Structure 1
Amino acid sequence: MHELDPAATAWLLASTALVLLMTPGLAIFYGGMVRTTGVLNMIMMSFISIPLVTVAWLLFGYTLAFSGDGFAGLIGDLTHVGLAGISPSTLHGSVPELLFATFQLTFAIITAALVSGAIADRAKFAAWMVFVPVWAIAVYSVVAHWVWSPSGWLFKLGVLDYAGGLVVEIVSGASALALALVLGPRIGFKQDAMRPHNLPFVLLGVGLLWFGWFGFNAGSALAANGTAAAIFLNTLVAGCLGMLGWLTVEQIRDGRPTTFGAASGVVAGLVAITPSCGTVNTLGAVIVGLLAGIVCSFAIGLKFRFGFDDSLDVVGVHFVGGVVGVLLIGLLATEVMTAGPQGLFYGGGLAQLGKQCLGAVVVALYAFTVSYVLAKLIDRTMGFRLSAEDETTGVDFTQHAETAYAEGVHGHMPMRRPRPEQG
């Protein structure tokens, strides 16, 4: 019989707030990465994910992800539709289940928001609002059940994903690729530079993301103990080494390190440590972060080679970084952290690596396929992409009747009141 743990509950309350802050942080990060005519739309795509996913999660998402087995480890049952049967005194382990459900909700929110980066500057806002809640139930909740529910088939198989390499990073990256393919490239892709318009925004967003990521990873311990402390350190270390890895590549390849590279490297390291934070030691976190920073710095160029317009590098950073982190568990997992499974380098053989490969492939294929079909249905019925005229005019103005900056946008100058007469 479990009893309420006040310390664990307090830490999870704080962690839930930290993870929720990641979505506004992502909004600022993404907003800085786009051109001046799409800032508000990019921010809004993240912010609108908060209420849309919340409603979907409370109604069906949570019960499908974390209730008992509904069918062969593939989906949860409908025991807790609308959070039915869960009271303030109901516990999940040693924390209130309402708090656990809210903590998991914040994960679902940011995963949906991450996907938006692949379709910057060219998506109808109304279509995005239809896509998000359906996707949260059909893709996110299903994969969360597979990986994190004790009755999920990947969980029972022994696939490890501590805080969301499969459920968050690979799911968002595969879904983002599907949407990028359905909507097609932006006008001017491969021809215009399309550089980030506000690098201070990008760095501010990364700072907020990094701050929130401590709740994301260490909060997943669901306890205030040594494991949470080790995960906290792993999260810091991987972000640092991700930055150093990316900047090293830039210095060697391009002759100078950039602020944008520093921000991207931090995210790459944090993405990769997300699945492995509770399975590797500090040395493992160094390796995970460094490799992610290096690999992702090259992976972002794949969109130009293969011709898909992943506008803000969701595939190159989140998908590739997630795969790096998930697979490295099979090499670097240590019994000190897992209390059981070990990676190849710690005497565990190839078994765990095989399980991690299976999990990555299955999750990626499922998320891509369902997202592609859903996006196609929306595109066929209401249209997912803006008209060429609206895209050229600017998505902020055509979708929201607003612009982020008063001067120098659409040729309009701000209205100024005449100065009052002097004397």
Structure 2
Amino acid sequence: MILAAAHVNTGDTAWLLTSTALVLLMTPGLALFYGGMVRTKSVLNMLMMSFVSIALVTVVWLAAGYSLAFGDDVLGGLIGGLEHSGMHGIGPGSVHGTVPTLLFATFQLTFAIITAALISGAVADRTKFSAWLLFVPAWTLLVYVPVAHWVWGPGGWILDRLGALDFAGGLPVEITSGASGLALCLVLGPRLGFQKDAMRPHNLPMVVLGAGLLWFGWFGFNAGSAPGASGLAAAAFLNTLAAGCTGLLGWLFVEHRRDGHPTTLGAVSGSVAGLVAITPSCGTVSLLGALVVGLAAGIVCSYAVSWKFKLNYDDSLDVVGVHLVGGIIGTLLIGLFAEKAMTGGTQGLFYGGGLAPLGKQLLAVVVVAGYAFTVTYGLGRLLDKAMGFRASAEQEQTGLDLTVHAETAYDHGVLGHGAPFSHSVVAVQKAPVREAAAQKVESQA
């Protein structure tokens, strides 16, 4: 809805400008987080999959995505209209609530960007980059945009008809990315050497730096979703910090009890799991509820990441185990811990609200996860048949950095468990990609 320009609140606008910048920073943070977790031979490819998502999603969002997600409903709560395609009719004087509409649209754009980038972690080390360039815009329009309309758009069926709650993106961000990651895992199949070769993170300091940037940006993600610079924003901010902390501690507790070694990777994974789970609930639960949500996510997700070995799906960087499972936990626990003081009405089961709120949250989770998985699986199969979605065995074995981008992240041998590189970056950049790859294979023989 566009209101008169006189309703702009400068405090709210300043806070949302800051939050938008924070959320955008999360995608480079994710790139570092993912980049440190892969082997040396595919670091740059992992970074590129996140960075190129910024450009691809921005273009489709401005062209049609924003209008379809936040335009007036045209199909019974399923999708918005095209009245704002190309940002038509939205100028500097247009207002959404108490902030400029252009700012609101940009803030929502940053959510769409990182959601698409999150999926890349599930298929790291083996995705054809050209296919990724087509997948991201198509997925954004077919999956993210409709779900965003259901949850946040005017007339969206989850918001207006079902009445399920999602403060900052458990459904459109965490569950869609996790379910979509699982679908692509099944389309592409496991990496060469999955469950046989060591595939440990090659640079844990990079992982920690990326996680720190993600945590920093998450304050804008969650507290920025409050309608202004308000007490609700402050509560969401504190809940975000608290859940990240208990998620970290919960994961370390499991590692210590199960493995005898609390690890650096476990600490950052636990914090991310807690942050994922509190995303939908940060504006609906009290501080006590946030502590429980984070702890539950840290404990459950630490077990969930091992499911891929039992079920034989290769979720490379644990998008399913952390984002899908964590998003489900946070969304469902709203039905237990929601408080009227936060929601303005809805109360969870533990506060006298009965089972109805939990049932609504469960239905929303099942529908969104099922929709995202089904559409992504179909899109992935279509692209795989049309052009091939998976890199060749030679590219995967040699490394996508060298064979696809004609670059290497490190100049002097191996720093982790990937294949060693014998060429300098300059030499590789001057040589044709196919020749460089052939020389690489020959040098290893």
Q: Provide the C-alpha distance between the structure 2 equivalents of 1:377 and 1:413, rounded to a whole number of angstroms.
A: 37
Q: Which residue of 1 aligns with 2:127?
A: 123
Structure 2 match to 1:397: 402
Question: SS at the partner of 1:220?
Answer: coil
Q: How does 1:13-412 map to 2 (within 5 A)?
A: 13-156=17-160, 157-408=162-413, 410-412=420-422
Kept in 2: contact 1:165–1:326 (CA 8 A): yes
Percentage of identical aligned residues: 69
Letter in 1 for 2:381: K
Which whole-Å CA distance do the structure 1 matches of 2:97 and 2:235 have between them? 21
Number of equivalent positions: 417
Name the aligned partner's letter for residue 259 of structure 2. D
Q: CA–CA distance in 1 between the matches of 2:313 and 2:393?
A: 18
Alpha-carbon distance between aligned partners in 2 of 1:207 and 1:70, rounded to the nearest angstrom:
41
Report the Cα distance in structure 1 between the residues aligned to 2:279 and 2:184, rounded to whole angstroms: 24
Tell me the secondary structure at the aligned position of residue 221 of structure 1: coil
Tell me which amino acid in the other structure corresponds to 1:160.
L
Q: Deviations over 1:163-205 (max 9, x none)?
A: 0000100000000001111000000000112000000000000
Residues 161 and 276 in structure 1, CA contact (< 8 A), matched pair in contact too: yes
CA distance in 1, matches of 2:227, 2:410: 43
> Could you list the runs of 4 or more consecutive aligned residues of structure 1 that deviate by over 3 angstroms after TM superposition?
413-417
Q: Distance in 2 between matches of 1:199 and 1:269?
A: 20
Partner of 1:421: none
d(CA) in 2 for partners of 1:164, 1:150: 16
The one of 1, 7, 11 aligned to 1:7? 11
CA shift, 1:58, in A, is: 0.4
Name the TM-score, length of structure 2 as normaliser: 0.92
Residue type of the alignment partner of 1:272: A
Q: Which runs of 5+ in 1 are unaligned?
A: 418-423
Cα distance in structure 1, aligned partners of 2:200 and 2:246: 25
Could you tell me how far apart the structure 2 residues matched to 1:373 and 1:323 are? 23
- Partner of 1:420 in structure 2? none
Q: CA deviation at 1:390?
A: 1.0
Superposed CA offset, 1:245-283 (max 9, x none): 000000111111000000000000000000000000000
Q: Deviations over 1:122-158 (max 9, x none)?
A: 0110100000001101100000000111300111110
* RMSD between aligned residues: 1.2
Which whole-Å CA distance do the structure 2 matches of 1:40 and 1:68 have between them? 41
Deviations 1:91-139 (A, max 9, x none): 1101001000000000000000000001100011010000000110110
Per the alignment, residue 414 of structure 1 pairs with 424
Q: Please say if residues 71 and 154 of structure 2, whose CA atoms lie closer than 8 Å, have aligned partners that are also in contact.
A: no
